[in-house]
Structure 1
């Protein structure tokens, strides 16, 4: 179902929250008190306290932080509202009501929601058009058991509150492209979400696990990405930032990794970085087997106020560095106000200045004390709220 939206975004959030609480009888005082008393990180605090958030879904676009900046290009009076009503998939000729029709066929600013709980088995990778928001809040949406999501040569995309798992490698074939035209794509490895030459991408509050290759790849010149509030679990290779050692364009890659929950049963790449820069802040690491953070080709990383809980067995060291002949001395891995439990340790770069993210005003956020990490990541992953309950 498609409609043109004309509602403007409520900028006076605190006033809206107060009015909604006072004049909305269907939310009990107990629920209101529970919601307002929860500890929330800066992203969630921007929209979750409003019990009427379903009427103002676009408010989410003003809540992002980090290198993605604000997602206000995704909203406005020309926004198209699209509701997924059909869990089936047709990779070449998707019908109205299917997820692929809203994500690939419709062009312009599209805000996608779901009519009900759904299990979607994609026949081919879903290529998402620029200025698209996929918003799974209020329902339980699984994308699983075959192809998953790809963002290729696209910009201004939000992926929110989906459960993506058991993704499988795909052979080459024809598929509806992000420009609304059928294209040929090569083989894909079986990642939950793969970014290829993409920019201004926000991946928030998703649950990702048990995929054939990795859970999230940021590759081939992709940049200005924020990965926040996700739950990554049950996976060997979790997150790859940078295509390969020879892809020099990734030197310009900038990624923010914040408020995520890693584990249980994650092995490595949380993340693995090549060439570019990552600000990894306020995340919870619930163990690892090989390592938590690593990479190659002289990447730069600022690890800030993360909680690293080492496994009972396997490696206690957080970091890993690929051994090479030319780049060992170019590592810039810094740990600032991190906390280490169960014997965890972090091998830092000695000397030099700790690199700053150099965020703009709209990208910046306050990194909180590591003592709050358990509570601030408690809601990581896709929300369990129903169509009527609070999130």
Structure 2
């Protein structure tokens, strides 16, 4: 995400937890994320609990950085990255997000626009690209915790803690939205659980590289999908629940055992505990993420996943404990 730093970067500090969706005041999060244009790096003066009256539309080239303080976005609307690129969301605690009716709101380009009903997701990506969601703690929202939809691509979801949620992560808008075939998402070093039911993630059409994540049980399934998605599940640790479904995967409208229909679900060096199982695609090639030289990373052995994910979620940094 080198496009978010360098020349002409604006440093903005949030000092006011209030929110006005149409005329945000200087010092508020919405003013920094939606009104100021160009490269903006947002930090916070002190611990805050922010209740957004309408979804926060984040502008391109914006980084929201909650390190060093305790930032909760909770109890009302939450974050939307709409037709934006080069966005970083880091170090936030986002929870108890609620569905909202449509209305007017300050858009990501500094202009008031009309938004439709939102379902109550913690973070929703709509036609967004080059997005990094890192070291956040997300839980207990009305719909889901993270949606990547409507042609969004080049998304990295790393070091987050997802917990206390039915539907966790959706990749792909709906079965009929074929533009999501170009979607590429990396899900790495995250902790799923406790008390997550399904969609970790659920993939439609596109491609996901899911690596070095800790799965602390599930109810229905851990990873699922529809419309012929491609998945490389690599060196994850899947700990099945004590009772109920032990199967990691779920496939909608696929043929027996996941074969055929363009499906590519493959498990590479995954570790399974407590009877967990992973039904792979029969035959076919393991889909590659096709990272460039700047994007490549070494996937550790699955036996290292517990230590790799021990600091997942929002970090509590201090002067003596830097992050």
Is this contact kept in 2: 1:94–1:100, CA < 8 A?
yes
Indicate how the Cα distance of structure 1 residues 123 and 387 shifts in structure 2: closer, same or farther if over 3 A, else same.
Answer: farther
User: Does the 8 Å contact 1:138/1:388 carry over to 2?
Assistant: no
Aligned to 1:381: 313
2:89 to 159, 170, 185: 159
Structure with the largest fraction of helix:
1
Contact 2:265 2:281 in 1 (8 A): yes
Query: Counterpart of 1:66?
Result: none
Alpha-carbon distance between aligned partners in 1 of 2:237 and 2:312, rounded to the nearest angstrom: 15
Runs of 4+ in 1 over 2 A off after TM superposition: 386-391
CA deviations 1:122-156 (Å, max 9, x no partner) are 00000000000000000000000000000000000
The reply to whether residue 100 of structure 1 matches residue 18 of structure 2 is no
Query: SS of the counterpart of 2:306?
Result: helix
Report the CA distance between 1:357 and its aligned residue: 1.0
Distance in 1 of aligned mates of 2:135 and 2:80: 17
Which of 220, 226, 245 is equivalent to 1:296? 226
The answer to whether 1:128 aligns with 2:65 is no
Q: Does 1:233 align with 2:158?
A: no
Cα offsets for 1:67-119 (capped at 9, x unmatched):
xxxx1110112000000000000000000000000000000000000000000
C-alpha distance in 1, partners of 2:29/2:168? 25
Q: Report whether the alignment pairs 1:169 with 2:104.
A: no
Does residue 320 of the first structure (1) align with residue 250 of the second (2)? Answer: yes
Determine which structure has more spread, i.e. the larger CA radius of gyration: 1
More strand by share: 2
The residue aligned with 1:143 is: 73
Question: Retained in 2: the 8 A contact 1:139–1:387?
Answer: no
**Which residue of 197, 207, 217 maps to 1:267?**
197
Give the root-mean-square deviation of aligned CA atoms: 1.3
3-state secondary structure, aligned to 1:214: coil
CA distance in structure 2 between the aligned counterparts of 1:313 and 1:324, rounded to whole angstroms: 25
Question: Displacement of 1:342 after TM fit?
Answer: 0.1
Corresponding residue number in structure 2 for 1:280: 210
DSSP-derived class of the 2:88 partner: strand
Whole-angstrom distance in 2 between the partners of 1:244 and 1:81: 38
Q: CA deviation at 1:350?
A: 1.3
* TM-score normalised by L of structure 1: 0.81
Give distance in 2, aligned partners of 1:386 and 1:208: 22
> Cα distance 1:385–1:173, how it changes in 2: closer, same or farther (>3 A)?
same
Long gaps (5+) in structure 1: 1-70
In structure 2, runs of 5+ residues without a counterpart are: none
Cα distance in 1 for partners of 2:162, 2:51 equals 20
Normalization by structure 2: what TM-score?
0.98
2:284 and 2:199 map into 1 onto residues whose CA distance is 25
